[in-house]
Amino acid sequence: MFESGIRRATGDDLDALVAIEQACFEPPCCYSRRQFSALLASKHSLCLVEEGEGRMRGFVIVRFRAGSRTAHVETLDVDGAWRGRGIARRLLAAAEEACRERGMHRLQLEVSTGNARALALYEKVGYRRVEAITDYYQFPHHGSRDVYRMVKELT
């Protein structure tokens, strides 16, 4: 189903998920172990991880709402040592494939207006900015509390 090295996360992945999340986002902005446990257990979310060389290199979490054909990228994290190697792109592609299989028509996300690298990636793979939202984050991410809402049509 997924590209080589990409699989669904399990409870055994909690330590690695938390470690990568804490490396990508500083508290209180990062997800806790308890939040990850709830996301992994929920039938309304999907967590995919990419592994290589014996360790997790990144992950993506997608949430689904009952009655909606729009899925939401909750977070996409790549270990700093592995950035720039296409991992985020592969994880997004796998998430999009899984969303299509679940009958989703679009995938939506929010990204900090200060995160130029992520913005460039999302636009390169077909996401478009549909809304600018001020003061979205309680604490700054990449120097900004503002985000762009981005959407990709999957149909």
Q: What pLDDT is attached to residue 53?
A: 86
* Residues 76, 88 contacting (CB under 8 angstroms): yes
Half-sphere exposure in the Cβ direction for 7 (13 Å, CA): 11
Q: What pLDDT is attached to residue 141?
A: 80
Answer yes or no: is 1 within a domain: no
SS3 15: helix
Q: What pLDDT is attached to residue 1?
A: 55
* Residues 9, 51 contacting (CB under 8 angstroms): no
* Residues 113, 144 contacting (CB under 8 angstroms): yes
Is the peptide bond preceding residue 28 cis, with omega within 30 degrees of 0? Answer: yes
Write the single-letter amino acid at 81.
A
Supply the Cα-derived Rg of the chain in whole angstroms: 15
Domain housing 89: 6-153
Q: CA-CA distance, 122 to 125, in Å (whole number)?
A: 5
pLDDT tens string 60-84 = 999 999 999 999 999 999 998 899 9
Answer yes or no: is 29 within a domain: yes
What is the pTM (predicted TM-score) of this model? 0.92
Return phi, psi of residue 63, to 5°: -110, 150
Give the CATH number, domain containing residue 69.
3.40.630.30
90: tokens are: 């592969």
The stretches in the chain having pLDDT less than 70 are: 1-3, 27-28
Q: What pLDDT is attached to residue 2?
A: 65
Query: Which residues lie closer than 8 Å to 119 by C-beta, 6 or more apart?
Result: 111, 113, 148
For residue 5, what are the β-bridge partners? none
Task: Domain count for the chain, please give it.
Answer: 1
